[in-house]
Amino acid sequence: MQYAKVYAEDVHVGSEMPPLVKPPIQQIQLTRYAGASGDFNPIHQDAAFAKAAGMSDVFAHGMLSMGFLAQSVTDWFGVGTVRKLGVRFAALVRLGDVVTCKGKVVAKHPSVGGTRPSLVDLELWAENQKGEKVITGKATAALVSRT
Amino acid sequence: MPIQINTSVKGKEYPPYRVHVERGKIKEFARAIGDLSPLYLDDAVAAAGPWGDIIAPPTFAITFRDEGADTGVLLRDLGVDIGRILHGEQEFEHFKPIRPGQTYLCRGRVSDIYEKAGKSGPMAFVVRETIVTDSDNEIVALMRGTTVVRL
């Protein structure tokens, strides 16, 4: 198995991340994420609660979408490469939504002296099936050299 | 009529707390996201990998919670009902991988509170920062989360 999926030499400013298309959001995934994360806010589980709080229905944890975005980076660059990840939650992700993560390289900081990994800055976002951005952000990943 | 929140919470430091990372929680978290990398899920594959064991996905530290420093405490401090909050922003900075079987120390504080007009009315933004260190007292991760309160 290859752990360094992408080497520093393989990416350049403008390189596009392979889009990650996640399955439609289902209630069971929100329940699993609640259990896994410890975020049991009923607004993600209970439609009556969500409506009483002024929302049209339950909606996904923002952190679930952030998890998708993190996966899109590690699917491309490899597990353990993410040094920084920061996002803004732009719109609610609702039941049935199909979230697609996209991104591109906006800067590359070559290894200094060849002993440290190169750092690659990414612009990231995720869209729903209507093309609306539900999350925007940026990441910095550490990539080793091929040699 | 907008609600008032207790802005004196700005600057509050929460009691430090320890979390022990269980192997099964890492796997449960990766599966909940639908990220099925063997480096999160397969002990044997990960044992032969770069860290000699599974590690946690990049957003796993969001699970580091404590009854003395969780969102419930923040909401009580602010005087806000849970139905009014949304997650506005979140950042992670990673310095070392988070590993199963390790115990980490978390120190959190409310670093900022500010209000501004949102699209659907007045909003308050509450920023919390958490520093995660390991048993060698080395920094493992920094987290910064912004909770939006619909006033």
B117: enclosing H helix or E strand: strand B103-118
Domains present along chain A, CATH in parentheses: 8-24+65-143 (3.10.129.10)
In a domain, B38, yes or no: no
Instruction: Please give the mean pLDDT across all residues of chain B.
Output: 94
State ipTM.
0.95
Residue in chain A lying closest to B39 (CA): A79
Whole-angstrom CA distances from B90 to A37, B43, B47, B75, B147 are 15, 30, 31, 18, 9
Give me the residues of chain A with pLDDT under 50, please: 1-2
User: Which CATH number goes with the domain that contains B78?
Assistant: 3.10.129.10
Residue B43 vs residue A145, higher pLDDT: B43
Number of domains in chain B: 1
Residue in chain A lying closest to B61 (CA): A37
Best of A26, A39, A71, A119 to disrupt the B interface (most B CBs within 10 Å) is A71
Cβ A37–B49 below 8 Å, yes or no?
no
Best of A22, A29, A77, A79 to disrupt the B interface (most B CBs within 10 Å) is A79
At A88 the pLDDT is 98
In a domain, B67, yes or no: yes
At B78 the pLDDT is 93
In a domain, B29, yes or no: no
Residue in chain A lying closest to B84 (CA): A53
Please write the tens of the pLDDT for every residue from B58-72.
999 999 998 888 888
- Per-residue pLDDT, averaged over B32-49, amounts to 96
Q: What's the gap in Å between the CA of A61 and the closest CA on chain B?
A: 8
Cβ B87–A49 below 8 Å, yes or no?
no
- Residue whose C-alpha is closest to residue B62's, from A37, A82, A29, A44: A37
pLDDT greater than 50 at residue B107: yes
Domain that holds residue B111: 7-22+61-150
| Token pair belonging to A8 | 């520093």
- In sequence order, what are the residues at sequence separation of 6 or more whose Cβ sits closer than 8 angstroms to the Cβ of residue B11? B109, B110, B111
pTM: predicted TM-score of the whole model, two decimal places = 0.94
In a domain, B104, yes or no: yes
- Per-residue pLDDT, averaged over B125-142, amounts to 97
Q: Which residue(s) pair with A59 in the sheet?
A: A94
At A2 the pLDDT is 44
- Per-residue pLDDT, averaged over B6-14, amounts to 94
In a domain, B78, yes or no: yes
Q: What's the gap in Å between the CA of A87 and the closest CA on chain B?
A: 5
For B58, which of A23, A29, A74 is closest by C-beta distance?
A74
